Every structure is written in structure tokens, then in C-alpha cells.
Amino acid sequence: MPRVLVSDKLAEEGLKILGESPGIEVEHRPGMKPEVLCQTIPDYDALIVRSATKVTPEVIDAAKSLRVIGRAGIGVDNVDLEAATARGVIVMNTPGGNAVTTAEHAIALMMSLARRIPEAHRSLKEGRWEKSRFSGGKELYNQILGVVGLGNIGSIVADRARGLRMRVIAADPLVSEERAERLGVSLVPLDELLARADIVTLHVPATKETRGLIGKEAFAKMKEGVLLVNAARGGIVDEAALLEAIESGKVKGAAMDVFAHEPLPADDPLLQREEVVVTPHVGAATTQAQLNVAIAIAEQIRDYLLDGVVRNAVNLPSISPEELEKIRPFLVLGERLGRFQGQLAREGIEEVEVEYAGQVAELDVQPVTLAVLKGLIEPWVGERVNYVNAPHLAQQRGIRVVESKATISRDFVSLVTIRVRSGDRVRLISGTVYGRTQPRIVRVDDFMLEAIPEGATLLIQNRDQPGVVGRLGSALGDAGINIARMQLALHPKGHQALQLLNVDPLPSDDVLAKLRALPEVMSVDLAELGPSVS
């Protein structure tokens, strides 16, 4: 009989679903200390947690019978995914259970900020009638709302804002114009959103790419007197830069539910500013949301234990050990090529075509296509992306996926080609595997080259003129940037060249700006392709 341990508080409705399922035994023991959990877990097939329980490698190592971990919520940062995957333990979450609740909280924060409701409430409670003081609020009607991140929650916020007759613009490199149009939203680059929006609301995950996304440079691009709302993740807003922007008057007010360090210290300077509305990370904490995620995770765990049905898994490989051995290097290659394309995309991605040629076309390449999608989306979506949910996330963002095969590859034994359609631009990147394990990039658009897809990578297109390579090298050297590898390619028709540089450390925005300012340089792109593949 499968046994389920619930180690955090879970709504009774969820416990009832498990308890009434024939063949399942459930035990609810919230508040266990880590050492007690390690002692208890060996006898259980499934573990359900919320955010309090930390599922560490030690817990997973002790879990001799564990088959599945269920997280009642969207984030799985309290579960060690690498350790779970290594042990073959499936990790599931409930990505849609609290989307509406979080979106509504963002709208509530925006309204509270625009009309200074918390401040006026406190003033009146303290016995003051300061009608004139609070008569200068902002009307939301016809205001431009800039939604940064148009996923589940951002889309709901956009829909609710349109109901308030706001004009909604959004920035999301993974959303197509077609999907944005269906939502009634104008898709724009982030810089344009910052310059146009009267109110900016954030709905992106905390990833390496989004950490500090709203900092000094972003504030400098915003309108004077802008309002800022963050009900997404702590760390997306540089809080020191926010404080400066408030003090200067650039930001008229900010509403924050999440912070870089939680709980927020009582002496934090943001708490001393009357322009700042704060809540203690309660965006998803409604009774209905907690009920939704409890029911969802209980049903998912039940269906997996009794019928083998997997939903919302975040780490499930879908290939046999024998096939995996053959296709493993192409999984690495596909993910790196997708990651490269995802970071080069400047507009919403409309279509990705994955073409297999040569010997690789004889294999079951579906996992490689999933790896491509994972790499393509992961820089912008973060920890939720995996081989299971990548197609859903692509579909959700209106990205069409096309897979094709050709039995013959003219120049290579096996060739994987990724074409990404973004606006009017189609970018092509091809790669192969040398020997049995060494992935290589062999083509970027019309340029042929050979490059190792790893680490911080600069893609520079320039006019083919003497001295360009030296000037670029000097500019990087002056900034303390080392060039580990350099690959050069000429356009078949001449006059243009392409350089692909592996560099260390990661160049700053200032360094990139200096490179782009060189007269012969046509474009400079930066991508982080991951650790060494050797």
C-alpha cells in the first residue's frame, strides 16, 4: 500500500482526497524538525510539502522508498531538484493554483498605491481628518500599465487592468504578437515599456537574468512620477536603487509584497517612506488559493501512485536508459542551442523549428526537441522549466514548434539546426557532436564556424575591415575581460564577419556599450550558455 507523508499544513480537503483513495495511506505530520523528517521518511512513497519543509539532499538520501514529491504551490526552491532527479524521484508542483490570487493582490497593491489608501486609513485611525492631504491620488482610467512578464499571472493582471479601462503594454521576449493581440495587449521592448508606462508591475521569476532587473538604469528610463508594483519575487527590484528613485521623486510610489531578504528588517529604510506600500509576501496566501493547491497536489499524487499518471512534473526524463546513452550528447547540444537562441531573441518568439539531419534523425529525437525548448525558455522563466512542461510553456506563450528530419547531412554525420522566427527576423543556429560527447556550434545564420557552446559568449557581427579584431580585443582587455576562445567567420558574399568569443568574467552593460560604439561593429549580443561541456 503506497504511503504518503504530508509534512506541512495542508487544507483538509486535500487530506480527504488522499484519505478516501483506496489503497493509499496518508499521515499528516506538520512541523517536523529536519532530523525527525530524515528518520521518518524511509517508510514513505510520497512526500507532500508547502514552503516550510526543506527537502534537502539528506532528506532525499534517507528516503529509500520515495517515488514522488509534491509541492503545494508553484515554487520548488525548497526542494533539491538535482538530488531528487539523481535518485529518480519525481517532483511535482501546482503552477496554476494561486495565479488568480497573486494577480488580484497585484491589482489591490496598485489601487492602494494610486489612491494612498493605507496612509489615509492610518491617518484617520489616528484621529486626523486630512481630506486635502489625500486628494491628489492617481486615477487608473486611461493610464498606461506596463506589465513586465506576460505568463499566467501577468496575463491575468493585464486582463483585470483592461477591465479598469487602462491601456496595457507588456514586455516578454517569449510571447508572440499573436498571443498579445488575443490578450488585448501591445507588446513592446522593455526599454520602451519603462519609458511609456505610468505604472509598472512585475510578473517575472527570480532568475539570473531577472535579478536586479529594475535598478538604476531601469529607473533612469522611467517617466517622472511613475508607480512601481512588485508582487512577483524578491531581488527583481534593486531596493537601494528604488529608495534613491523615491527620494529623487522619479518614483512617486512603490507597492511591494516581496523583498530580497525576508522577513524585512523593522529598520529597513523602505518602511520609513510614506510613498511605499508593503505587505509581508502574502500575494498567494488566500484561503481559496491554499484550498486550490491542496486539492491539486492531492489529486496529482493520488493519480500517480494509483495509475502512473504524471502531471506538472518539473524533473521527469522521458527516455529509456538504453536510448538515453545514445542521445545524451544531443540533449546537451539541443539545450545549449536553444539557450543561445532564447537569449538572442529581441522580440516575441513566434516559431521555433528544429531540424535533424544525418544519423541523429534515426533516433527518437523528441527529448532533444524538449531540451531545445527548455533551453529556449529557461533564461526567462526560471526553475519551472523542464522536459515535461517546456511544451506547455511554449504553447502558453503562443510559440509554434515544428520538428523535421532529413536522412542525409551534407557536411556532418549528424546536424541539429534551430530556426527561430522573431518578428520579421529568422535566426538560424546549427550544431553537431564531435566524437561521442563534444557538442559544437557550426553555423550562425550564413556564417560557418566551430565553437564550444559554454560559458559567457559574445556574438559580434562587424564589417570585414583591418584592425577590428585588435580593437575589440583591446576594449575587452582594458575592461579586464579575458578571451578564452575566439572563432571567426566570413560571410559567403564577403564584406561582413562574425566573431564568437568565450569570455570571462561576464562583461557589464558598460563594456557591451563600448563594443557596440566601435564604428565597424554592427551588433553585439551576450549569452550565458552554461558550465563546461567537457
The CATH code of the domain that includes 273 is 3.40.50.720
pLDDT at 84 over 90: no
* Within a domain: 313: no
214 in any annotated domain: yes
Calpha distance 188→147 (Å, rounded): 10
Residue 383: the pLDDT is 52
pLDDT of 388 > 80? The answer is no
Both 76 and 148 in one domain: the answer is no
Query: What is the residue range of 380's domain?
Result: 319-445
10 and 106 together in one domain: no
Residues 254 and 160 in one domain: yes
384: pLDDT strictly greater than 80: no
Mean pLDDT calculated for residue range 256-274: 93
Instruction: Mark whether 126 and 141 lie in a shared domain.
Output: yes
Average pLDDT of the residues of the chain: 91
**Domain membership flag for residue 283:** no
Whether 120 and 235 share a structural domain: yes
Q: What is the per-residue pLDDT for 419? A: 96
Of the chain, the percentage scoring pLDDT greater than 90 comes to 71
pLDDT > 80? residue 372: yes
Q: How far apart are CA 276 and CA 266, in angstroms?
A: 14
CATH number, domain of 427, equals 3.30.1330.90
pLDDT score, position 322: 66
Within a domain: 292 = yes
Looking at the fold, whether 104 and 72 belong to one and the same domain comes out as no
Tally of CA atoms within 13 A in the half-sphere of 101 that contains its CB: 20
Residues 6+ apart with CB under 8 A from 139: 114
* φ, ψ dihedrals at 110, nearest 5°: -65, -45
Counting residues of the chain whose pLDDT is more than 70, the rounded percentage is 97
Nearest 5°: phi and psi at 55? -90, 90
Give the helix ranges, DSSP H, for 283-405: 287-307, 321-344, 366-381, 390-396
Q: Residue 312 falls within a domain, yes or no?
A: no
> Active-site positions?
233, 262, 281
Domain count, the chain: 4
Asked whether the CA dihedral 511, 514, 520, 524 is positive or negative, the reply is: positive
Task: Give the separation between CA 41 and CA 371, rounded to whole angstroms.
Answer: 32
**Interior angle at CA 467, CA 463 and CA 472, nearest 5:** 80
Same domain, 362 and 488: no
Residue found under cell 532564447: 342
Specify whether 302 is located in the same domain as 330: no
Q: Are 294 and 263 within one domain?
A: no
Structural domain includes residue 383: yes
The confidence score (pLDDT) of residue 190 equals 96
- Both 236 and 114 in one domain: the answer is yes
CB 143 within 8 A of CB 167: yes
SS (H, E, C) 414-453: EEEEEEEEECCEEEEEEEEEECCCEEEEEEECCEEEEECC
483506496: which residue's cell? 22
Residue where a domain stops, chosen among 416, 445, 474: 445
Summarize the confidence of residues 264-286 as an average pLDDT: 92
pTM recorded for the entire structure: 0.69
Grid look-up 517532483 returns: 91
| CA 98 – CA 232 distance, rounded (Å) | 12
Distance from C-alpha of 24 to C-alpha of 4, rounded to nearest angstrom: 7
User: Do 429 and 528 have their domain in common?
Assistant: no
In-domain check, residue 84: yes
Residues 171, 243, single domain; the answer is yes
